[in-house]
Amino acid sequence: MRVSAAASILCVSLLTVGGAQTARIQVVPDEAGRRVDVIVDGKPFTSYIYPATQKKPSLFPLRTAKGTLVTRGFPLETRPNERVDHPHHVGLWLNHGNVNGLDFWNNSDAISAAQAPKMGTVVHRRVVEAKGGADRGELAVEADWVTPDGKTLLREQTRYVFRGDAASRTIDRTTTLTAAAEQVVFRDSKEGFLGIRVARELEQPSKRPEVYTDASGKPAPRAVNNTGVTGEYVSSEGLKGDAVWSTRGRWVLLGGIVESEPVTLANLDHPSNPGYPTHWHARGYGLFAANPLGDKEFAATNKEFNLTLEPGQSKTFTYRVLILSSAPAPEKIEEASRAFAKEASKETLKP
């Protein structure tokens, strides 16, 4: 049964605002707009979006508690001085680059017709539940991982839990993938798995000339431009910058200054996930991804990590994303990681 925006308002925890009862954290479906908006203390936080032009659902954009954007706008809401590469990098998403030989990661409207038969699509099916509350909001959705000829390989159940206060925002994403009528193999690939494409300010400085958008949001001639670029990765293993890429870790943070606000964006792996602790596909150009399914490509060995699901078999993946309005403090992220790891029963994490 599909949840309407009106129905979602009936299932919220309440506080009083101007004499009316409403949720402190609101999760509001907009079926006509193909989106679900998440609002914390009256401020937009993020939206679950599934436009017909996009090849997978995603959370877009992501904001700090102060409202500062921490994800790239291109290609949906282009801002000045943004890279125009990888149009499939939109907000926060989950998919993989080799599933039964199909590429779900790189698919977008920008691919050529010749490439289309090699691509898979994650198709949103329905909003199962949307509810707000005093301390958390929840969104449960279903999607299918579909082949170019319309056959469903995987059924996806995902539950998001949203939290926030005056200085932070938190997203828990728990996704269960179930093989449909045939065996499904996630083959070893660096193109995955839980990805975030960050705002220009959170990229790491680069000396390579690239194509960026101009003041009107249109691509400009290739150039070297590090104006306002302040990002740096730090892993749970103490590695920094480009050294984080391909390594394993319980968590990675990305710190920087965005619109004069100190920001820490952190991604926490969960011990129940396959391949824990995950490899990090953390690129200086702004891709911040946790990938547990890429041993051979990341570790440069002959050992592949291929995850196989027989028909009807499931696997669950759980991650926590923190957006903090503060400078990086690895000890705080370690504390948060330990607390997240203790939630092993999945009573609050299961989809």
Tens digits of per-residue pLDDT, 183-231?
999 999 999 999 999 999 999 999 999 999 999 899 999 999 999 999 9
| Cis preceding-peptide flag for 193 (omega within 30 of 0) | yes
Looking at residues 330-335, what average pLDDT do you find? Answer: 98
CA distance 75 to 108: 10
Ramachandran quadrant class, 53 (left: phi over 0; alpha: psi -120 to 50; beta: rest): alpha
pTM (two decimals): 0.92
Bridge partners (DSSP) of residue 267 are 252, 321
Two tokens, residue 158: 């995902």
Give the tens place of pLDDT for each residue, 235-290: 999 999 999 999 999 999 999 999 999 999 999 999 999 999 999 999 999 999 99
Q: Which residues contact 220 (CB under 8 A, 6 or more apart)?
A: 211, 212, 213, 214
Cα atoms found within 13 Å of the Cα of residue 243, Cβ hemisphere only: 8
For residues 153 and 180, the answer to whether their CB atoms sit within 8 Å is: yes
Looking at residues 153-174, what average pLDDT do you find? Answer: 98
What is the rounded end-to-end Cα distance, in angstroms, of the chain?
Answer: 16
Residue 1: the pLDDT is 34
Bridge partners (DSSP) of residue 194 are 94, 290
Q: Provide the 3-class DSSP secondary structure of residue 316.
A: strand
Bridge partners (DSSP) of residue 288 are 196, 282
pLDDT band, residue 22 (cuts 50/70/90)? confident
Cα-to-chain-centroid distance, residue 268: 12
10: pLDDT strictly greater than 50: no
Residue 85: the pLDDT is 96
4: pLDDT strictly greater than 60: no
For residues 177 and 314, the answer to whether their CB atoms sit within 8 Å is: yes
**b/e 33-44 (16+ beta carbons within 10 angstroms → b):** ebbbbbbbeeee
Query: What is the chain's length?
Result: 351
Residue 8: the pLDDT is 37
Give the tens place of pLDDT for each residue, 70-110: 999 999 999 999 999 999 999 999 999 999 999 999 999 99
- Cα angle 239, 105, 92; round to 5: 60
Question: Cα separations (Å) of 5 from 18, 39, 142, 176, 321?
Answer: 21, 14, 17, 25, 26
Top CATH class, 5-341:
mainly beta
Looking at residues 292-299, what average pLDDT do you find? Answer: 91
Looking at residues 315-319, what average pLDDT do you find? Answer: 97
Residue 123: the pLDDT is 98
Domain segments of the chain as ranges: 5-341
Q: Which amino acid is at 238?
A: G
3: pLDDT strictly greater than 80: no
Bridge partners (DSSP) of residue 263 are 256
